[in-house]
Structure 1
Amino acid sequence: MTTPDAADILTRYQAFRTRRFLENDAKTRHWLPTWRTQRRRRILGVSVVAVLFTLLVISILSLFWQYAPIAWLPATAAFLVLWTMLQTVSGRHSDAPAGALDEWEVQQRNEARSIGLTVTQGLVLVAVMASIFLSTWIENDRLAYAGALWTLTALLAGICSPALILAWITPDPDPEDL
């Protein structure tokens, strides 16, 4: 009995990911056609950032007001709707496998992912440092919850940043593609 080579497993997995991505892209390619312009993608991007800022404000308020986390639920629902719309109209290029993109798209995706990693590291570091600093200074039972929400908001912002960047910089598609 032979064991599969690790490179063979990775190659087959990447082929599966590419095939699955292309199938999903074929299903969603014509969804929200009027939102696929750069201007509308930018509106969605600004909306996602506004909701992320709202989540940050709610997480800070949760430190001082015990009912603030209830506001997290509708803000999260708004985030999920806007994020899904942004991913749909931008073609999910930020998480597309390399086999589904051309060379220019792969380069743009990789640069956006690099920036996204930097954003994630920086924002999570700030959230964790704030939690550590405040834990030595403030006696509050809600600090752990607030710190977790700060960190979650930072992670969401970092995860979203590649798609936000690509949605912002990608030019309008050719009318023939729509």
Structure 2
Amino acid sequence: MSATDLLANYQEYRTRRFLRNEARTGAWLPGWRTRARRRALVLALAAIFAAMIAVGAVCAVNMEIGPLLWIPPVLLFLPTWTALQVVPSRQGDAPRLALDEYEIAERDAARSIGLTITQSVAVIPAFVLVAAASIEKLSAGLGYACGLWLVTALMIGGCSPAMILAWNRPDPEPEVAA
């Protein structure tokens, strides 16, 4: 089997799985599919990321309580991220075969921005860690904080395409009963 066949088969499998999941979750959270509600989810996710960054700062100076503070933002992240994925129908990571040309262009633009965000935000804790490592005695708290900041930066970048699409998409057309 050639690599091309393997990739084509995988894309077909991804499309089938995506369409099956979309059929299952397509009716979930109907009241949250408006632009205002999607934007509220995006803002909630941004606040959770800000809390994660703040927890990293606390860890840099206080390793006794700091790591425990990481648990609440993570527990809030999981349902918020899940809702943000369900509400706009997971368009941010949908396979090409499940989208039309406009949706593909929109998704690819959001992914491009997400990659730029990932690279731009993730380099900050990496540089802090490199600079701090040049000091003879690196505190465990600062290393831990940089790890949390890097994980948060990767999460921000990974969530950015869905956040952008959820923010920019118009309200769905109302369904007309026949």
Give the TM-score taking structure 2 as reference length: 0.94
Structure 2: tracts of 5 or more residues without a match: none
Output the amino acid matched with 1:25. E
Relative to structure 2, which stretch is displaced further, 129-138 or 4-13? 129-138
2:18 is aligned with 1:27: no
After superposition, residues 23-102 of structure 1 pair within 5 angstroms as 23-66=20-63, 67-102=65-100
Q: Which residue of 2 aligns with 1:126?
A: 124
Give the Cα separation in 1 of the matches to 2:3 and 2:116. 30
Per-residue CA distance 1:13-43 (angstroms, 9 max, x = gap): 1011001100000000000000000110000
Which residue number corresponds to residue 104 of structure 1? Answer: 102
Contact 1:135 / 1:143 at 8 angstroms: preserved in 2? Answer: no
Distance in 2 of aligned mates of 1:134 and 1:27: 48
Q: Give the 4+ runs in structure 1 shifted more than 2 A.
A: 134-139
TM-score by length of 1: 0.94
Tell whether the 8 Å contact from 1:120 to 1:159 is kept in structure 2 after alignment. Answer: yes
Distance across 1 between alignment mates of 2:22 and 2:81: 16
| Root mean square deviation, CA, Å | 1.2
The total of aligned residue pairs comes to: 174
Percent identical among aligned pairs is 44
Q: Deviations over 1:65-96 (max 9, x none)?
A: 11111010111010111011000101100000
The answer for unaligned runs of 5 or more in structure 1 is: none
Deviation at 1:135, TM superposition (A): 2.9
Does the Cα contact within 8 Å between 1:115 and 1:162 map onto a contact in 2? Answer: yes
